[in-house]
Chain A
Amino acid sequence: MDLTSFSFVLFFLVTLAVYYRLPRRGQNIWLLLVSLVYCATWAWQFALILLLVAGVNFFLAPRLRANGVPHRGWLWVGILFNLGVLLLFRLARFFIPQLLERLADLGWTSEPGALLLLVPIGLSYYVLENIAYLLEVYRGQTEAAADGVDFFLYLAYFPRLVAGPIERASTFLPQLARPRTVDNEMMARGLGLILLGASRKIIVANTLIQAIPWDLFESPTNFNAPELWGWLIVYAFYLYNDFAGYTNLVCGLSCLFGIEISPNFQQPYFARNFAEFWNRWHITLSHWLRDTIYLPLSRALLRRNFNRTHPLSLVLPPLVTMLVSGLWHGLSSNMVVWGLLHGMYQVGERLPSRWGPVVPPQKRPVWRQVAAACTVFILVIIAWVPFRLELPEALTFWRQLFLAWGDFGLRYRRILFLLPYLLIVVVLDWLQYRAQDDLVFRRWPRPVQAVLLAVVLFLLLVMSQGDSGEPFVYQGF
């Protein structure tokens, strides 16, 4: 059930109507039930897998710090279990087909076996949440959850089940433990975020992806370099608006339950260096990687007397962290290259710190900030190529991108018509960036807000009609 589908709207409204009539405990039970139903709308087995994984972590967590003493062994059991589940399903697509073929030869067909080919919805996200939870409990940053319903709900919570944000138990569970309030402010904020998210997804992202020529990624040699750069920019904005739209939508829906969800995007294409980019793009994943891999690795190097400016300390943590990020996105060579590329970008911008203190970007002259933002943007979109394509195709794409400058013809003139969309998105981001507020429009005069709202509603009404329902791109991870 897609978040922008009519059936989801009905499902959500019914859930909300019942939710408001229940006491806190009942609300949590109700949310858990509907979350499992929501999960089962993909396949009922997915709900079972979710319960199984959550159950193992729930019973494991108290053993991590029994009597206040951290037990490293249990922590590793937990981490390996979670990684094992993730790897099982991620690797299944490589070995299950052969296995099923062999079994079919023997006259045995297996539906559950075939199901293993699909990664259960949201698995990549709740596995990371489980690992973060176990680490927090192990480090004594949070207590092991005592309430099974609350813990299961923390992992299964349907608004963010499909593609995050990756929530921390220490911020999420306390919200479940206390009564929630949805007042005027919360309601307006929730509805505002829903509209913003739906607009980014339906009006912008779906338009951009449908405008991209079908053969852009399949046959990049059909295009010259200027065209490829143009369409790559379009793709970059599609990716951003799709995922940021999803996050806005999810945060807005959750606000209507009185539950705050962490933001995941903050105008990433205005980032002036890569450290800033990863603090603005998929923030909750970045923070998970920072806390679980980057910082422990940096500390381990420090403990072994490699100081902060030592080449190993400069190179290893970002490279390993981004490599893991790439592998999380997919067990494939192109994702490895994508991760390593981002790792190398970060290594590159950290190297100058070896020779002296580095001026933070916000303290540089404006023209240097703009130039830095443009550089980061160009490097990011170059890296989107292996994010989208298998490695051999990505190499072909890059070759065209950098070398095919002999011809300046335009095969698809509609790229010019997309400029207003891109301009609207950049202006929207700029307004949000300056105000440090996603719902900056709420500060505008009421008549302007009313007109804007009417126009947005009209566009949503028109553009959602018979929409093929492009799935959210991060739903696939």
Chain B
Amino acid sequence: MNTLQLQKPFGRLAVWAGLLLLLLLAALEGVARTRFVHDLLSAPRLGTPHRQFEIQADRLAMAAAQGPIECIFLGNSMVWRGFDPEAFAQGYEQANGAPLTCFNFGVDGMPAAAAGQVATWLVQTYQPRLLIYGTDARDYAVTTEERDAQVLLELAWLNYHNGQFTLEGWLYEHLYLYRYRFHWQSLLRFDYDDALRSRSWLGGGLGLGFDWDETVGSVQLPPDPNSEEGQIRYYYRLLSEYQILPANIAGLNQILALKQTGTTILLVEMPVPANYMLFFGQGEADHARFMTAVSQAAAAAGAPFLPTTPLEAIPADGWVDYSHLNRTGAAAFSRWLGGVLVSSF
């Protein structure tokens, strides 16, 4: 005798409920696509724990909705903190007589390997006239196992954009309801700080991606090798036995190859204070290895590379710490860059 003895009709209720659920989901998808919901809720999720990346992607989409994106400045947190689009526009206009608005797509902890993936998506989606990649020695030493690097490289939505189909990537790309599902959950669980745009920085209200830091750090003193401070230890870990990893060079080449799409690619060394060299086990020699590797890749692709070290335009009080510019430093660097950009083309 069979255990399962279902008789028809069976499951009609489930079918009706399923249809109603589909209707409900379709209606909510329509609501989720409205500007009202976008303005109400914090940046939509794209399936990564790297929340800052999602916020930058949302800011860029908002900026693109205002008009075409001419220029994108891509890089790690040094770019995020160090590139002021307004100061850059001023510097560029003074030198050129014409404005150039550049979006800051700086993302915490993003090495060159991940930057290659992100750049591909940026160029394919927004087709900027100019892509500037602000780079530093650390971009080539970070392994793909580091958390921020790994989550970006494994991001299904990003990979979907770059031609690798996954269901998750598809869902994030095409269903706004899916992007906002954690927001609904947070609202239902009264976690408003995480859900509402107005409640926290997760809203990401700043137009051109730049989040400045007003802190003035004392970078004139050499770093303490025995420091317990997380960032200092991190730099020593990456730079004391400096290595240029092939995956990161591949990422750099992926960025340079985007030149073929018609977008101009420019590499810029992100400025660092003099004491930054003390983190390198071999000091200037290690730094020179990084510069050589990037120069060679740029030259092979026919793309300009702009070295900045030492950059006298940065005032002594222009640093947050040994690698990040503060608001003053960012303005000085960006204005300088806007000015020299003319001569690079």
Q: Would you list which residues of chain A between 315 and 361 have a CB under 8 Å from chain B? A: none
Q: Which of B7, B13, B185 has a CB less than 8 Å from the CB of A450?
A: B13
Is B7 within 8 A of A183, CB to CB?
yes
Q: Which residues of B contact A463 (CB under 8 A)?
A: 185, 188-189
Q: Which of B5, B14, B189 has the most CB of A within 10 A?
A: B189
Q: Which of B17-25, B77-85, B213-221 contacts A (4 or more CB under 8 A)?
A: B17-25
Shortest distance in angstroms between B24's beta carbon and chain A's nearest beta carbon?
6
Q: Which of A181, A451, A454 has the most CB of B within 10 A?
A: A454
Given contacts A180-B3, A183-B6, A211-B190, contact A454 B184 (CB under 8 A): no
Is A417 within 8 A of B5, CB to CB?
no
Is B17 within 8 A of A454, CB to CB?
yes
Total B residues in contact with A, Cβ cutoff 8 Å: 26
Q: Which residues of B contact A414 (CB under 8 A)?
A: 190
In the bound complex, how far is the Cα of B188 from the Cα of A206, in angstroms? 11
Chain A positions 148 through 190: 1 when the CB is less than 8 Å from some CB of chain B, otherwise 0: 0000000000000000000000000000000111111001000
Is A450 within 8 A of B189, CB to CB?
no
In the bound complex, how far is the Cα of B6 from the Cα of A450, in angstroms? 20
Is B13 within 8 A of A446, CB to CB?
yes
Shortest distance in angstroms between B43's beta carbon and chain A's nearest beta carbon?
16
Shortest distance in angstroms between A185's beta carbon and chain B's nearest beta carbon?
10
In the bound complex, how far is the Cα of B179 from the Cα of A466, in angstroms? 12
B181 at the interface (CB under 8 A from A): yes
Residue of A nearest to B21 (CB): A454
Q: Which of B1, B12, B24 has a CB less than 8 Å from the CB of A458?
A: B24
A475 at the interface (CB under 8 A from B): no
Q: Which of B3, B14, B184 has a CB less than 8 Å from the CB of A181?
A: B3
Q: Which residues of A contact B18 (CB under 8 A)?
A: 454
Is A184 within 8 A of B13, CB to CB?
no
Residue of B nearest to A20 (CB): B4
A210 at the interface (CB under 8 A from B): yes
A292 at the interface (CB under 8 A from B): no
Given contacts A183-B7, A184-B10, contact A210 B20 (CB under 8 A): no
In the bound complex, how far is the Cα of B182 from the Cα of A205, in angstroms? 18
Shortest distance in angstroms between B193's beta carbon and chain A's nearest beta carbon?
11
Q: Which residues of B contact A462 (CB under 8 A)?
A: 181, 184-185, 188
Q: Which of A19, A183, A454 has a CB less than 8 Å from the CB of B5?
A: A183
Q: Which residues of B contact A451 (CB under 8 A)?
A: 17, 20
Q: Which residues of B contact A447 (CB under 8 A)?
A: 16
Q: Which residues of A contact B20 (CB under 8 A)?
A: 450-451, 453-454
Q: Which of A258, A459, A466 has a CB less than 8 Å from the CB of B188?
A: A459
Q: Which residues of A contact B1 (CB under 8 A)?
A: 179, 181
Chain A positions 440 through 477: 1 when the CB is less than 8 Å from some CB of chain B, otherwise 0: 00000011011101110111001101100000000000
B34 at the interface (CB under 8 A from A): no
B66 at the interface (CB under 8 A from A): no
Q: Which residues of B contact A118 (CB under 8 A)?
A: none
In the bound complex, how far is the Cα of B19 from the Cα of A447, in angstroms? 12
Is A453 within 8 A of B14, CB to CB?
yes
Q: Which residues of B contact A379 (CB under 8 A)?
A: none
Q: Would you list which residues of chain A between 199 and 226 have a CB under 8 Å from chain B? A: 206-207, 210-211
B343 at the interface (CB under 8 A from A): no
Query: Would you list 17 pairs from A and B whose C-beta atoms are within 8 A, ordered by A residue?
Result: A20-B4, A27-B3, A179-B1, A180-B3, A182-B4, A187-B6, A206-B189, A207-B189, A211-B189, A446-B12, A446-B13, A453-B13, A454-B20, A458-B24, A462-B184, A465-B181, A466-B185
New A-B contacts (11) at CB < 8 Å, excluding given A446-B16, A450-B13, A458-B21? A20-B2, A182-B3, A182-B5, A207-B189, A210-B189, A414-B190, A447-B16, A449-B13, A454-B24, A462-B188, A466-B182
